[in-house]
Amino acid sequence: MGLRDRLQEKALKYGEEVVSKASTSAPVQIVGDGLRGFREMLEGEDDAFSPELFLLSLVRAVREDERDEDRSRRQVYVAARKRRRRLALASFATGPLVGVANQVADLYCETAVVCDLAVLHGRDLSDNEIAAHMLMLWEVADDFEVAHGSVQGSPPLVSVLGDKLFVQVDRHLPDELTKRSVAKALWDLREGVGNVRRGVTSEAVRTTAFTGHRTKQTIKRVEAQLGVGS
């Protein structure tokens, strides 16, 4: 074995040890233990998954983990920033969905913001209604009625999502959908045409930057959708 081969072997072994230690460290375990719904979202990559089921699972995961805590508008912002950092740890070195775990974390965090703001402004929204607001926020649907109908299969969300994905990012949904493919499609639309076509979405690490500016803009957009002022 040459010097280069030995160095590569040592580097690979070191990398595996780092991942193993990080995934079993106390902080990561503590964070993960408090996010049961989120961790369940990261399981079962190969399971057949419809977009409707993915969205409703996402909303229910958030509501299971967050328990609709009563927060002020400022606390909604602070909680969103802290939540994204916690999920960055929880999604580190996760199994089946490791390639899109950060994307799922972003979708989860924005769903949590919608849930928080609904509570803050006294909107008693069902899981389906929260899911509809997510479709509007991620520009899958242009208005609430279409979004809400799609969540309930009229028209089928797979058609709406597939058409939007093709128009915006020139990409087709696969014939057989899994949790991974649905998550990636929604995240690609969330990021917008420019970033996707430049290929930035291939870097999952980029999504860990849940910036203050983006969080504030998300809060404003959601409040506009809910019909409430800031």
pLDDT per residue over 59-68, tens digit each?
A: 999 999 987 5
Pair (11, 92) in one structural domain: no
Q: Is 20 found in the same domain as 53?
A: no
Same domain for 40 and 15: no
Same-domain check for residues 21 and 130: no
Mean pLDDT across the stretch 167-178? 85
Residues 75 and 111 in one domain: yes
How confident is residue 34, by pLDDT bands cut at 50, 70 and 90? low
Whether residue 101 sits in one domain with residue 22: no
Q: For residue 102, what pLDDT is reported?
A: 85
> 73 with 11, same domain?
no
What is the rounded CA–CA span in Å between residue 141 and residue 160?
A: 8
Instruction: Summarize the confidence of residues 103-130 as an average pLDDT.
Output: 94
Q: What is the rounded average pLDDT for all residues in the chain?
A: 77
Kindly indicate the confidence band of residue 117, based on its pLDDT and cuts at 50, 70 and 90.
very high
Q: Percentage helix, strand, coil, to 5, in the chain? A: 70, 0, 30
State yes or no: pLDDT of 141 exceeds 80. yes
pTM of the model: 0.76
Is residue 13 located within the same domain as residue 58? no
Domain count, the chain: 2
Rounded-to-integer distance, Cα 165 and Cα 222, Å: 22
Residue 166's domain comprises 34-226
Indicate the DSSP class of residue 45.
Answer: T
Q: Phi, psi (5° rounding) for residue 53?
A: -65, -40
pLDDT value of residue 210? 53
Place 1 in a pLDDT band, splitting at 50, 70 and 90.
low
Residue closest to 137 by CA, chosen among 115, 159, 110, 102: 110
Same domain, 72 and 48: yes
223 or 3: whose pLDDT is higher?
223
Average pLDDT over residues 196-202: 37
Assign 20 a pLDDT band (cuts: 50, 70, 90).
very low
Assess whether 18 and 90 both reside in one domain: no
| Whole-angstrom distance, CA of residue 43 vs CA of residue 47 | 9
Q: Please tell me whether residues 50 and 147 are part of one structural domain.
A: yes
Predicted pLDDT of residue 99 = 65
At 168 the pLDDT is 82
Does one domain contain both 132 and 152?
yes
